[in-house]
Structure 1
Amino acid sequence: MISRWIRLCVLCALLPLLLAMRPVDEKLLIAARDGNLTQIKTLFDEGANVQAANEQGTTALHAAAWNGHRDVVTLLLRKAAPVNHATSDGATPLYIAAQNGHSAVAALLLNNGAAVNQATNIGVTPLFIAAQNGHREIAALLLQHKADANHVAEDGVTPLFMAAQKGHHGVIELLLQQGAAVNLTLPDGSTPLFVAAQHGHVATVSLLVDAGSVVNQTMTDGATPLLVAAQNGHLDVARLLLEKGALVNQSVQNGVTPLHVAAQNGHREIVVLLLKQGAAINQKARNHATPLLLATQNDHRDVVALLLTQGALVNQPAPDGATPLHIAVAAGHRDMVALLLKKGADVNARTADGKTPLHVGAYQGNLEIVKLLLKQGGKKRAKTLSGERPIDIARQQSHRVLFPLLKP
């Protein structure tokens, strides 16, 4: 949904250092990392350069900011450390402090000229990383210093997307108070609500909807937040979206509905919820797949049993004539085959080319399934349109164990 989440690890371990750095500057970087104020003062007396950087662009100020050494940062700034110097990734000391939750260091940097909206190479600002990591205090500090709540990164995300993906409620409240665009879309059409629904953050979903997020917003493929929640098995989110007006039968471009994806992924409780809300149980997708067929294909027996008790058509065929029983046999799901037969599946149903489930079983060579089909009345003499009997297919596939059973 979101092309890539920002996971900058900026410091690059500080070592190995650029070989061209003087030993005294290397020591300064390490001392700043470790918070060794006494050694830093000694190194300055020995001529250490506060602006020296390693091959990743990391300065002593970056190193001190990474570990939250406020006293070291204070000294380095007094020595004219470059407050907005960026690493090779484009990260400033402020970005690093925001990433690691060091609010005191972030405040110090901001009060000494740190650029609050300076972005990394992929367009993310300190507010992005604070939002992603749930650092509410730092997010508030950045916003007080005029951080742009609607800054857009290269891939289209904003700080609100980052906070919504992680479910950081407090940060989201701050962003919304500062005018974060709740319905801004990514290139795929998703909004922060989709991200929250995808990850199951029910409190975030509620907050976004109350702030004006469009409940039935569609992505470019037609997916809705409800479909995303159903697909990922987030029952509470699905329930909340339905309470807020989500359309239970709204489908994507290929005709798949929330019930299709819930059944396909075996989310029984969501199937129950959707059916109670009026989901069309025998709705066909564009490829004619029904929720029952998808649940059968993926061996979700509890969902299949539920659908059948609620009115799903056990013998509803696909365009090629295959019924759920054909699908179960082809997939080798013996217990599913037994369930479908118990619920009235036609053991001799034919596909468009004349194959019965027994033909399919003969092709697959599953002894237990073939026995079951025969016990339930599967016809050994049934012929396909090309004149093949189940035993003919078994012979073609060299399934010798089936020969005695299928012999007419």
Structure 2
Amino acid sequence: MISRWITLCALCALLPLLLAMRPVDEKLLMAARDGNLNQIKTLLDEGANVQAANEQGTTALHAAAWNGHRDVVTLLLRKAAPVNHATSDGATPLYIAAQNGHSAVAALLLNNGAAVDQATNIGVTPLFIAAQNGHQEIVALLLQHKADANHIAEDGVTPLFIAAQKGNHGVIELLLRQGAAVNLALPDGSTPLFVAAQHGHIATVSLLVDKGAAVNQAMTDGATPLLVAAQNGHLAVATLLLEQGALVTQAVHNGVTPLHVAAQNGHQGIVELLLKQGAAINQKARNHATPLLLAVQNNHRDVAGLLLAQNALVNQPAPDGATPLHIAVAAGHRDMAALLLKKRADVNAQTADGKTPLHVGAYQGNREIVTLLLKHGGNKRAKTLSGELPIDLARQQSHRALLSLLKP
């Protein structure tokens, strides 16, 4: 959505083919863009049309508003420039002034009849773009002129949502003071609090919670502000949410909890925080992944060590029978495998098709890992359900350097 708003910049409309305009009107638009007041006066005396627009719908008033030329805007308005004329994207001069932070121009336009809530083709008003860009003075001005603080764009975004996403604290305060709905959600269920937590804006999160934001309000897929804070490593945000009553075990619809995503992404501080708050250390997602398995899979050794120190089940298998040790060996994570073995991982655990970690290591051809497994009692004679020994898999993959090690 934001990228679409950016494309509404009138800059794109200031460099168009000007075939639909008379030469004198083209010159007027360019002079307005450059703020050349004397040239504008001359062109108007020569018959330039103040209402003329190029193929993108840009008028001289748009061009002057884009660059904040207040004296030019004053003159054009005095000459009956169309204050609410929109470009082909739906941007008005007020929208453009709000976008670029030109508060004096915005005030002038509003005092001359600019429609405060006139939206672009995708439903974005001047208040949206000012909130997005952090132009606090313009936000205050627009709200004084009764801009709708709860206007909803095409995709459900509100000014408060976009300000929360950007962490524009002063703007958020203004919007809330004017009645912006703190828990109004997008179609996917995301709220201003959710997006602030996602981006780690701790001051914004604190303000929204103080104003009644629901800390456990979930998206349609079940994701909560705590989950996205944990996923993105925002420790201060996660701490605040938990202090405000966020549920540590609340899972998304696929069974993934904040602890799962923190472990998966290697956020050790958040893993520690969640465990202290009572997170279920061995909880399985619907795909049977545990926090430990995810930490192992992504080679987050410190997180795996923390989970194991808190009694995570070292041999808890996935549906196919693969244990964390199988996963570490398959990924070539030698130090992770060593950690798991130190914590009494079953070196000869078998998957559903009978493979041991040694079978997996032999297939991968990792001599260091094969040596490690053998040192910890890996069974060279273990057979898969189809009768294959580890040496058979090494031979199939032409790992000749392993054959002497794996010979039964």
Same fold (TM over 0.5): yes
TM-score by length of 1: 0.97
Tell me, in whole angstroms, the C-alpha distance in 2 between the residues paired with 1:285 and 1:221. Answer: 14
Deviations 1:364-408 (A, max 9, x none): 122221122112221111101111101111122222222222121
Counterpart in the other structure of 2:193: 193
Counterpart in the other structure of 1:42: 42
Deviation at 1:234, TM superposition (A): 0.5
Amino acid at match of 1:158: T
Counterpart in the other structure of 1:178: 178
Counterpart in the other structure of 1:270: 270
SS of the aligned residue for 2:307 comes to helix
Aligned length: 407
Deviations 1:309-354 (A, max 9, x none): 1111111111221110000111111121122112221111111221
Tell me, in whole angstroms, the C-alpha distance in 1 between the residues paired with 2:37 and 2:210. Answer: 49
Counterpart in the other structure of 2:5: 6
Confirm or deny: 8 A CA contact 1:4 1:155 kept in the other structure: no
Residues 182-331 of structure 1: matches in 2 within 5 Å? 182-331=182-331
Confirm or deny: 8 A CA contact 1:264 1:295 kept in the other structure: yes
Deviation at 1:133, TM superposition (A): 0.7
Amino acid at match of 1:6: W
Using the TM superposition, name which of 387-396 and 259-268 deviates more: 387-396
Confirm or deny: 8 A CA contact 2:10 2:62 kept in the other structure: no
Confirm or deny: 8 A CA contact 1:262 1:271 kept in the other structure: yes
SS of the aligned residue for 2:11 comes to coil
Structure 1 residues 171 and 298: CA distance shift in structure 2, 3 A: same
Tell me, in whole angstroms, the C-alpha distance in 2 between the residues paired with 1:45 and 1:17. Answer: 25
Confirm or deny: 8 A CA contact 1:3 1:155 kept in the other structure: no
Deviations 1:176-221 (A, max 9, x none): 1111111111111111110100000111111111111111111111
Amino acid at match of 1:28: L
Tell me, in whole angstroms, the C-alpha distance in 2 between the residues paired with 1:4 and 1:401. Answer: 54
Tell me, in whole angstroms, the C-alpha distance in 2 between the residues paired with 1:173 and 1:148. Answer: 15
Deviation at 1:355, TM superposition (A): 0.7
Confirm or deny: 8 A CA contact 2:13 2:56 kept in the other structure: no
Deviation at 1:119, TM superposition (A): 0.3
Amino acid at match of 2:164: A
Tell me, in whole angstroms, the C-alpha distance in 1 between the residues paired with 2:401 and 2:18. Answer: 70
Deviation at 1:244, TM superposition (A): 0.3
Counterpart in the other structure of 1:31: 31
Residues 148-167 of structure 1: matches in 2 within 5 Å? 148-167=148-167
Tell me, in whole angstroms, the C-alpha distance in 2 between the residues paired with 1:220 and 1:4. Answer: 24
Counterpart in the other structure of 1:402: 402
Tell me, in whole angstroms, the C-alpha distance in 1 between the residues paired with 2:175 and 2:100. Answer: 19
Deviation at 1:4, TM superposition (A): 6.7
Amino acid at match of 2:102: H
Whether 1:123 aligns to 2:115 is no
Confirm or deny: 8 A CA contact 1:394 1:403 kept in the other structure: yes
Counterpart in the other structure of 1:65: 65
Gaps of 5+ in 1: none
Tell me, in whole angstroms, the C-alpha distance in 1 between the residues paired with 2:382 and 2:279. Answer: 38
Counterpart in the other structure of 2:387: 387
Confirm or deny: 8 A CA contact 1:365 1:394 kept in the other structure: yes
SS of the aligned residue for 2:183 comes to coil
SS of the aligned residue for 1:12 comes to helix
Tell me, in whole angstroms, the C-alpha distance in 2 between the residues paired with 1:347 and 1:3. Answer: 51
SS of the aligned residue for 1:6 comes to helix
Aligned Cα root-mean-square deviation (Å): 1.3
Structure 1 residues 4 and 224: CA distance shift in structure 2, 3 A: farther
Deviations 1:51-104 (A, max 9, x none): 111221111101110111000000010111110011111000000000011000
Deviation at 1:16, TM superposition (A): 3.5
Deviation at 1:10, TM superposition (A): 2.6
Counterpart in the other structure of 1:21: 21
Whether 1:93 aligns to 2:74 is no
Deviation at 1:227, TM superposition (A): 0.4
TM-score by length of 2: 0.97
SS of the aligned residue for 1:31 comes to helix
Deviation at 1:6, TM superposition (A): 3.1
Tell me, in whole angstroms, the C-alpha distance in 1 between the residues paired with 2:162 and 2:14. Answer: 27
Tell me, in whole angstroms, the C-alpha distance in 1 between the residues paired with 2:391 and 2:374. Answer: 12
SS of the aligned residue for 2:154 comes to coil
Counterpart in the other structure of 1:134: 134
Structure 1 residues 5 and 190: CA distance shift in structure 2, 3 A: farther
Tell me, in whole angstroms, the C-alpha distance in 2 between the residues paired with 1:4 and 1:215. Answer: 28
Using the TM superposition, name which of 114-123 and 177-186 deviates more: 177-186
Deviations 1:15-70 (A, max 9, x none): 24322322211111111111111111111122111111122111110111011100
Deviation at 1:13, TM superposition (A): 5.7
Residues 338-353 of structure 1: matches in 2 within 5 Å? 338-353=338-353
SS of the aligned residue for 1:11 comes to helix
Tell me, in whole angstroms, the C-alpha distance in 2 between the residues paired with 1:195 and 1:5. Answer: 18
